[in-house]
Amino acid sequence: MSLRDRKRARTRQILVDAATDLFERDGYDETTIADIAAAADIGTRTFFSYFASKEELLFPESDARVRAAIEAIASRGPDDGPAEVLLRALRKVGDDSDDLTGRLAALRLRLVRTVPVVRGRALQMQFDAQREIARHLAAAFPERLDEVSAAALTGAFVGAVTSALQVLLEDPDRMRDPAEVQAAVRRATDVALTPWLRASAERPDHPTRDTA
């Protein structure tokens, strides 16, 4: 990244950290954008060059997760199936970021449950992400997926991740261990995608199929 991009990334992270502190200490509704900007030592107007709202600030890596899925689809190997590329994207996100396992993740899930505007934003972002990923999957695997089956596969994948994180939130001690969170999420996606992985393994042209 350029120096300018690195500075923007640092300021963006400072805003996220400041907001996390304030939301945990004072509450989401009680914290204003002005409060967050002041804690980050920037002007309120500058805040809007990084985030459009308080809700958006709670999902700083959502676009990166969608990009990871699209990049995994684009860089698929000849033996990769739709489920395999989604699982690869999940591994990359887990390796590159703690957005699904860190302190902000736990706070975000609590607020999704308790603050209607945050829940609405989360659902809209999930809906948009699923549509975008499903569209790329259907285009990449036209012989195996139509629009409906691509949407079903993507929904199973995203639903498994979301449901696993919701269960883990019930035990805050488990959320403090990123490795355990990642392992639990991967188990959940393995369960949800088993039919798709099995179908991939049973394809006549799959390299692991026993044709003897």
CA dihedral 11, 17, 23, 25 (to 10 degrees): -130
Statement to judge: residues 90 and 194 lie in one domain: yes
- Min mean pLDDT across 70-79, 87-96, 129-138, 168-177 is at 168-177
The whole-angstrom separation of Cα 62 and Cα 113 is 18
Q: Looking at residues 67-80, what average pLDDT do you find?
A: 90
pLDDT for position 212: 29
Do 48 and 88 have their domain in common? no
Closest CA to 54 of 26, 23, 25, 10: 23
My answer on whether 63 and 166 are in the same domain is: yes
What mean pLDDT comes out for the span 7-33?
95
Task: Tell me, yes or no, whether 64 and 45 share the same domain.
Answer: no
The CATH code of the domain that includes 28 is: 1.10.10.60
| Among candidate residues 17, 33, 52, the one where a domain is terminated | 52
Residue 207 lies in a domain: no
Q: State whether 179 and 96 are in the same domain.
A: yes
List the domain range (segments joined by +) for residue 45: 3-52
d(CA 150, CA 73): 12
> Same domain for 105 and 129?
yes
CATH code for position 133? 1.10.357.10
Instruction: Tell whether 64 and 36 lie within a shared domain.
Output: no
Q: What is the pLDDT of residues 180-212, one digit of tens each?
A: 777 888 889 888 888 887 766 666 555 443 332
Both 69 and 47 in one domain: the answer is no
Domain for residue 211, yes or no? Answer: no
Please report whether residue 180 resides in a domain.
yes
| Structure tokens belonging to residue 79 | 């033996």
Least confident residue range of 24-38, 78-92, 164-178: 164-178
pLDDT band per the 50, 70, 90 thresholds, residue 104: confident
Q: Which two tokens stand for residue 81?
A: 């199936």
As a whole number of angstroms, the distance between CA 204 and CA 174 comes to 42
Same domain, 82 and 186: yes
pLDDT at 24 over 90: yes
pLDDT reported for residue 88: 87
Q: Which of 37, 52, 67 is the last residue in one of the domains?
A: 52
pLDDT of residue 98: 66
User: Does residue 174 contact residue 168 with C-beta atoms inside 8 Å?
Assistant: yes
pLDDT at 168: 79
Q: How confident is the model at residue 18 (pLDDT cuts 50, 70, 90)?
A: very high
Distance CA 191, CA 172 (A): 23
Question: Do 45 and 68 share a structural domain?
Answer: no
In a domain, 79, yes or no: yes
Quick one: 195 and 121 in the same domain?
yes
What average pLDDT does range 92-120 have in this prediction?
A: 82
Q: Summarize the confidence of residues 114-132 as an average pLDDT.
A: 93
| Count of domains forming the chain | 2
Question: In Å, how far are 56, 62, 72, 182, 203 from 76, measured between CA atoms?
Answer: 31, 22, 6, 22, 17
Note the helical H segments in the chain: 3-26, 33-39, 44-47, 54-57, 62-74, 82-96, 103-114, 116-140, 147-169, 172-175, 178-201
Q: Is residue 28 included in any domain, yes or no? A: yes
Per-residue pLDDT of 42-61, as tens digits, reads 999 999 999 999 999 999 88
Q: For 134-177, how does the pLDDT look when each residue is reduced to its tens digit (9 = 90+)?
A: 999 999 999 999 999 999 999 999 999 888 888 877 776 666 67
Query: Is 97 contained in some domain?
Result: yes
Residues 191 and 120 in one domain: yes
Predicted confidence band at 62 (pLDDT cuts at 50, 70, 90)? confident
Does a structural domain hold residue 212? no
